[in-house]
């Protein structure tokens, strides 16, 4: 699950589909190294790996979930569970993804929860999740909205000028809503 792989790490028999993958613009070959042409193919590939380990997701995800390259894959897994399986299956995986401290959600749970934000039509998914979101004085709804404020926005283009001494903090504080994510959520709320 690396970003690129030297071509000599493939067995000769495994190299035969590479020509088709390069021709179909799924992969690129440069300087005897193979990489996905677009990150979405890598995200999808990692999501498929997570799906094959969904029964032991917490153990398998382990340190991987700390890497941003796995975040989109976990969100895609959450979408798969919500859209193609059932709320019950998503809840089962979600609850098994809890950390050791029940009062502090795990990063894996956050990523599975925010998957709904990235759905093509989040309204029906939010309606199905609503009873779970409002339990315990809206514990998960509060967390979802906090995550939403970050993942559904991008740094203001001039944020670095607002705080030149600490541009990272400025990019975190001065954010602009990304409308395609905001409209469905606001309509639901």
**Which of the pair, 27 or 123, is modelled with greater confidence?**
123
Q: Give the Cα separation of 64 and 69 in Å (integer).
A: 9
Of residues 105 and 23, more confidently modeled: 105
Per residue in 131-146, pLDDT tens? Answer: 999 999 999 999 999 9
Per-residue pLDDT averaged across 101-122, rounded? 88
Question: Which ranges of 134-178 would DSSP assign to H, the alpha helix?
Answer: 135-151, 159-162, 167-173
What's the pLDDT band for 37 if we cut at 50, 70, 90? low
The total of other beta-carbon atoms located within 10 Å of residue 95's CB is: 10
Residue in 181, 183, 53, 43 with CA at minimum distance from that of residue 114: 181
> pTM of this prediction?
0.74
How many Cα atoms are found within 13 Å in the side-chain-facing hemisphere of 110? 17
Q: Do the Cβ atoms of 44 and 79 come closer than 8 Å?
A: no
pLDDT per position as a tens digit, 56-87 = 888 888 888 888 888 989 999 999 999 988 88
């Amino acid at each position: 699950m690396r970003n690129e792989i030297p071509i000599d790490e493939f067995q000769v028999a495994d190299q035969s589909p590479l020509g088709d993958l390069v021709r179909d613009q799924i992969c690129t070959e440069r300087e005897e190294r193979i990489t996905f042409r677009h990150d979405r193919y890598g995200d999808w590939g990692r999501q498929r790996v997570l799906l094959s380990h969904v029964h032991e997701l917490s153990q398998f995800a382990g340190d991987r979930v700390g890497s941003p390259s796995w975040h989109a894959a976990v969100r895609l897994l959450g979408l798969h569970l919500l859209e193609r399986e059932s709320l019950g299956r998503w809840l089962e995986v979600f609850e098994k993804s809890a950390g050791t401290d029940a009062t502090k959600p795990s990063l894996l749970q956050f990523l599975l929860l925010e998957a709904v934000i990235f759905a093509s039509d989040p309204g029906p998914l939010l309606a199905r999740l609503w009873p779970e979101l409002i339990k315990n004085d809206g514990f998960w709804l509060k967390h979802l909205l906090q995550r939403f404020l970050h993942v559904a926005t991008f740094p203001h283009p001039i944020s670095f000028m607002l705080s030149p001494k600490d541009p990272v903090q400025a990019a975190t504080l001065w954010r602009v809503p990304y409308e395609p994510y905001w409209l469905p959520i606001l309509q639901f709320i």
